Amino acid sequence: MTFLVVGLNHRTAPIDVRERFMFDHNEVPAALARVLADDAVREAALLSTCNRTEFYFHLDDSEAGLREAVSVFADHAGELPQQLESYLYVRRGADAVRHLYRVASGLDSMVLGEVQIQGQVREAYEAARGLSGDRRAVRAIFNRLFQSALSVGGRVRTETHISEGAASVPSAAVDLATKIFGSLRGRSGMVLGTGEMGRLTARTLVDEGLDHLFVISRRRERAEQLAADMGGRAIPYPKLWDRLANVDILVTCSGAPHAVITREEVERATHRQKRRPLLIVDISVPRDVEAAVGDLPNVFLYSIDDLEQIVTANCARRQEEVPAAERIVDRAVDDFWRWRAGLRAVPIIKELRERAERVRQAELDRAIAQFSDLSPQDRERIDRLTRSMLHKLLHEPTTRLRKAAENGSDLDILAALRFLLGPGEHGEE
């Protein structure tokens, strides 16, 4: 059995390719069910964000997992500028485990140390756990793997400074606004989208001193809630274009499956008033804003990829924390690998304890039968005594056996114990 990661991210594919690989939350179950149809795939999870889409596998045959992932990706993305494989990376074994830990820790993010990715890993894990049908996507191994990954992500953020400072995608968007306008006091901004990214962007704008915040969403109640939380104002979606003529900053993160901000509408809105520049930051994947909007006079359009330069500057201090964070990850990978190796001793430890318990119970029944005048309390005391003796006798040998398995020196020991136990219940050696 081995682990496998197959995916693409902001390093291997541009935004116009990545957005083709995005899976909505309601598309994830079908994708997981499809890869789990192969009996070689024991467990699976699918992580899909604006900057990465990755399959995680625990399987018997790594080539089977790779084949299934490529097939699902190819069908979902459709026609691409280059061969699909040119965008993909593959990690196997301990490297796959390390990759997940680094992702959860923000070490593999476009924005080094970003906090949002840990929640996205948790959501991918929960989505896989919640898969219904004939095959479970998450069992004991993936439970341990993803729980430990989330724990590692938490440790990296609390034991290092890698997540400190303005280096998230929303923060980078606001940094861009301050570079263009200077102080945001006296400025007005609009956030299109009320999801996690929209909320973070709105909070960052307000914290930076934005005077007027407008929130727009097709779901009116969510826009009103977010606006109330941030001290802003909710605008009905049809009024977007009327309001656009009077704002300085528009940040879009609607999560719509296609562009909702068109050149024609922006040109019409901005033509109504001779005005100062309009900054549009599109941090949505797929993109919310048509690329041609950036050709309009006094309109400055930036996509999520354009934020990388700002992020790089803000991450200088975070970069200094990388070695400490990597050490935490490496130790956690070693711990997980030892735990996994220790599982090889579990079946024979279980058999040893079960055999010993059967012997104890048989001898206890035989002894008690010779003392008909024993009270129920005395019988319970003798039972507890023999159980305690058995536990103490087996504790040290089974602990050492598990440790030997974790250290990779268990093969001869397991074979010797199998020989000493003799035939099993059905006579097999």
SS (H, E, C) the chain: CEEEEEEEECCCCCHHHHHHHCCCCCCHHHHHHHHHCCCCEEEEEEEECCCEEEEEEEECCHHHHHHHHHHHHHHHHCCCCCCHHHHCEEEECHHHHHHHHHHHCCCCCCCCCCCHHHHHHHHHHHHHHCCCCCCCCCCHHHHHHHHHHHHHHHHHHHHCCCCCCCCCHHHHHHHHHHHHHCCCCCCEEEEECCCHHHHHHHHHHHHCCCCEEEEECCCHHHHHHHHHHHCCEEECHHHHHHHHCCCCEEEECCCCCCCCECHHHHHHHHHCCCCCCEEEEECCCCCCECHHHHHCCCEEEEEHHHHHHHHHHHCHHHHCCHHHHHHHHHHHHHHHHHHHHHHHHHHHHHHHHHHHHHHHHHHHHHHHHCCCCCCHHHHHHHHHHHHHHHHHHHHHHHHHHHHHHHCCCCHHHHHHHHHHHCCCCCCCC
Give the neighbor-by-neighbor strand order of the sheet with 41-48: 41-48, 52-59, 2-9, 89-92
**Helices 411-421 and 346-369, axial angle in degrees (round to 10):** 30
Domains of the chain, residue spans: 2-162, 169-316
Question: CA distances (Å), 66 to each of 9, 59, 62, in order?
Answer: 17, 10, 6
The 10 Å Cβ neighbour count of residue 328 is 19
Average pLDDT for 111-116: 85
Assign 428 a pLDDT band (cuts: 50, 70, 90). Answer: very low
pLDDT of residue 196: 80
Cβ-based neighbour number of residue 188 at 10 Å: 17
Residue 61 in tokens: 């045959």
* pLDDT for 345 beyond 70: no
Exposed/middle/buried for 146, CB within 10 Å: 0-12, 13-18, 19+? buried
Nearest to 302 by CA among 276, 280, 278: 280
**Res. 74: pLDDT tops 50:** yes
Q: What is the pLDDT of residue 423?
A: 65
Assigned CATH topology for domain 2-162: Beta Polymerase; domain 2 (3.30.460)
Whole-number pLDDT of residue 426: 38
Distance, first Cα to last Cα, the chain: 24
Interval 369-410: pLDDT, tens:
888 788 888 888 888 888 888 788 778 777 776 676 666 555
What's residue 378's pLDDT? 85
Where residue 429 falls among pLDDT bands split at 50, 70, 90? very low
Contacts of 44 (CB under 8 A, 6+ apart): 32, 35, 36, 55, 56, 57, 58, 65, 128, 137
Q: Are 292 and 263 in contact (CB under 8 A)?
A: yes
In this prediction, residue 415 carries a pLDDT of 65
Buried b or exposed e, range 265-280, using 16+ CB within 10 angstroms: ebeebbeeeeeeebbb
CB 102 within 8 A of CB 329: yes
Q: Which residues pair with 301 in a beta bridge?
A: 280
Q: Which residue has the higher pLDDT, 51 or 353?
A: 51
Q: Check whether 117 has a pLDDT greater than 80.
A: yes
- 126-141 tens-digit pLDDT: 999 999 877 899 999 9
pLDDT class for 158, splitting at 50, 70, 90?
A: very high
**Under CATH, which number does the domain 169-316 receive?**
3.40.50.720
Q: What is the mean pLDDT of residues 191-212?
A: 89
pLDDT digits (tens, 9 = 90+) for 295-332: 998 899 998 888 777 777 777 888 899 999 999 999 99
Distance, in Å, from the CA atom of 66 to the CA atom of 63, rounded to the nearest integer, reads 5
| Residue tagged 């930076």 (tokens) | 208
d(CA 119, CA 127): 12
pTM assigned to the model: 0.63
What average pLDDT does range 264-278 have in this prediction? 78
Q: Which residues contact 317 (CB under 8 A, 6 or more apart)?
A: 161, 164, 165
Here the tokens at position 348 are 């024979």
Residue 363, classified by CB atoms within 10 Å of its CB into exposed (0-12), middle (13-18) or buried (19+), is: exposed
Active site residues per annotation: 50
- Residue 288 is predicted with a pLDDT of 92
pLDDT at 5 over 70: yes
